[in-house]
Amino acid sequence: MSKDKSVVAMFAVDAAPRIKPSNYPEPFASRMQGREKRQLGDVFGLTNFGVNLTRLPPNSVSALRHEHSKQDEFIYILQGHPTLHTNEGRTQLSPGMCAGFKAGNGNAHNLVNETSDEVFYLEIGDRVAGDEGTYPDDDLMATQVQGTWKFTHKDGTPY
Amino acid sequence: MSKDKSVVAMFAVDAAPRIKPSNYPEPFASRMQGREKRQLGDVFGLTNFGVNLTRLPPNSVSALRHEHSKQDEFIYILQGHPTLHTNEGRTQLSPGMCAGFKAGNGNAHNLVNETSDEVFYLEIGDRVAGDEGTYPDDDLMATQVQGTWKFTHKDGTPY
C-alpha cells in the first residue's frame, strides 16, 4: 500500500493485505500459503522500519526458520497461540506475549500456527542496509541488493 | 532492564517498568506523572529500534506534543481510548487502531488519556543517529548527543 498522507490513524485490520504473498522462490513460496501481511508502517510512509499485522490461519507459518545478520526483529501476539520455533526448541505463545530477535545472534526463528484457530500478531523489523538472511533448515540464502532481497541456493547458484 | 539472554518470549506486562519516569527537565517531567513504560526491545537486546509497552492512567499523556527530525514512530492501541493530538486536531483511538509518524514531516503528536479508564499501547521508534525533537507547544528543544538526549530552551540556553 502506498503512503496516504490523509490517514491520521486507522484500524490495522482495515489496511489492504500485501499483494505478493511471498518473496521466496519455489518451493518455499508455496509453504507460505495462507499467511497474510498488512504493511502498516507503509500506510504512514515510514521507511526506517516496517510494522506488519500478520494473520496466520491454522497450519500456516510466519516464514522459513531464519535469522538476520543486521536486522533486529520483534513480535507481539494479538490473538491466538502460535508456536515459536528457535534453536532452543518450541515455545507456545499467547496473546500479550512478545519476543525479540537480535540481529546476528545466530538464533533462527519462525512462528507456526499448530492450532485450529487464527493467529494475529505484529512483527517489526528495521531496514539496515546490507542485511543477510540465513535459513538453517533449508537450502536457501538471502542477500539484500539495493534494498531488494536476492535468494540463492547455499552454494550461491540461483533459483 | 538489561538484556537477559535466557528470555525466549514473555508476557509484555511482566517486563519491569522503566525506573526513570521521564528524561524531560522540569517543569515538563512532572507532566508525565502516571505514565509507565516497559522497554520490551531492551529485554531481548534489540538496539536498532525500541518497543515500549506504555500505560497511561486517566489524565496522563504519552509525551509533550513533539516531532522527530530523523526517527520514525509507530503506535498500536491495545486497550482503552486515548486521544491523538496532531497538527490536524484530535482523533479518538480505540483498541486495534494504529498510527505512524514519519520523521521530518512536521506533524507534532502526542496521546492524551482523557477517559476514566487505563490505556495500554505499543510504541516503536528507531534509533537513527543525530535525531532532534521539536515541541511546538512548549519552550523546549531536544538534540541527541552521542545517544543521549540534551534538552534546552528554544534559544539554546540550558534548563
DSSP-assigned letter for residue A23: -
Q: For the segment A119-152, what is each residue's pLDDT rounded down to a tens digit?
A: 999 999 999 999 999 999 999 999 998 878 999 9
Q: For the segment B8-17, what is each residue's pLDDT rounded down to a tens digit?
A: 999 999 999 9
Pairing of strands B97-101, A10-11: antiparallel
Q: Does A101 touch chain B (CB under 8 A)?
A: yes
Strands (DSSP E) found in chain A:
10-11, 36-39, 49-56, 67-68, 73-79, 83-86, 89-92, 97-101, 110-112, 119-126, 132-134, 141-145, 148-152
User: What value of ipTM does the predicted structure carry?
Assistant: 0.95
CB-CB neighbours of B75 under 10 Å: 25
What's the confidence (pLDDT) of residue A5?
Answer: 55
Place of cell 501476539: A77
What's the confidence (pLDDT) of residue B147?
Answer: 78
C-alpha cell of A50? 516496517
Q: Which residues does chain A have within 8 Å of residue B74's beta carbon, measured at their own beta carbons? A: 40-41, 44, 46, 49, 51, 124
CA distances from A36 to A39, A74, B41, B126, B154 (A): 10, 17, 24, 25, 46
Residue segments in chain B with a per-residue pLDDT below the cut of 50: 1-4
At B94, which amino acid appears? S
Q: For the segment A34-49, what is each residue's pLDDT rounded down to a tens digit?
A: 999 999 999 999 999 9
Interchain pair B74, A46: CB under 8 A: yes
